[in-house]
Amino acid sequence: MIVDFFRHGSGLSKGCLDYLLGEDRERDNALVLSGDVELTAQLIDSSPFAKKYTSGCLSFYEHDLSDHDKQKIMQNFEECLFPGLEKDQYQILWVQHQDKVNQDTGETRLELNFVIPNVELSTGKRLQPFYAPVDLDRVDLFKQITNAEHGLYDPDDPNNQQLLINKKNLPKDVKDFKDQLHQRICQAVIDGKFADRQELVHWLESNEIKVTRQTQKSISIENP
């Protein structure tokens, strides 16, 4: 499981709720697990603050979990985000999605999406559920503990580390090029075509792949 916070939050509720539930509120494989949809919309739309809501998801490798485990994980996440606050001091909407396919298993995977109006309910003052410089370590610890306690797939486990990680929203031609180049490099290593960094650079250039920048930790190439 990983925790992902989205950048959205300055607009009205329609955009995020349409994404979570569908414009007609009948999105396939979407299920409200906790919270009030209408109250969430009202709090966001009436907010005087520049950033009106915080949203994100707990994204799982697994296809599904028991209802008990989902509720426990959601409760622990709320306690992680809102230390010292009671349940009646904040509003959070939880929506389950199960429509994205896990490329490794071929099954759909579980996502627990959350939307939090950025207002403390008892005072009407601004609430900031997540501020990365302060909260990131605590949220990362929540992720580690949750994965361990529930026996979930842990992306931080060295056995699960990906050799190739693509950025989100890459153009298809760039992604395909990176995937193919990765496969060619792996095969070249197996075939003994190079054994060190300088030989790798020479191999790239001999295959008409222009190296544009080198640092101690990386080699940059020109986009195809």
Q: What is the pLDDT of residues 86-108, one digit of tens each?
A: 999 999 999 999 999 888 888 99
Active site residues: 19
- Kindly list the domain boundaries of the chain, sorted by start residue: 2-159, 162-221
pLDDT of residue 186: 76
CA gap 81, 173 in Å, rounded = 39
pLDDT of residue 167: 64
- At which residue do the structure tokens 């080699």 appear? 219
* Six token digits for residue 125: 């003052």
**Beta-strand relationship, 30-34 and 53-59:** unpaired
- At which residue do the structure tokens 């080198």 appear? 214
pLDDT of residue 201: 87
Q: Is 185 helix (H, G, I), strand (E, B) or coil?
A: helix
Question: In terms of C-beta density within 10 A (0-12 exposed, 13-18 middle, 19 or more buried), how is residue 118 classed?
Answer: buried
pLDDT of residue 33: 98
CA gap 45, 9 in Å, rounded = 11
| List of the chain residues with pLDDT < 70 | 160-170, 224
pLDDT of residue 161: 58
Q: Where are the alpha helices (DSSP H) in the chain?
A: 13-21, 37-45, 67-81, 132-149, 172-190, 197-206
CA gap 146, 197 in Å, rounded = 39
For the whole model, what pTM was predicted? 0.73
**Can you name the CATH fold of 2-159?**
BirA Bifunctional Protein; domain 2 (3.30.930)
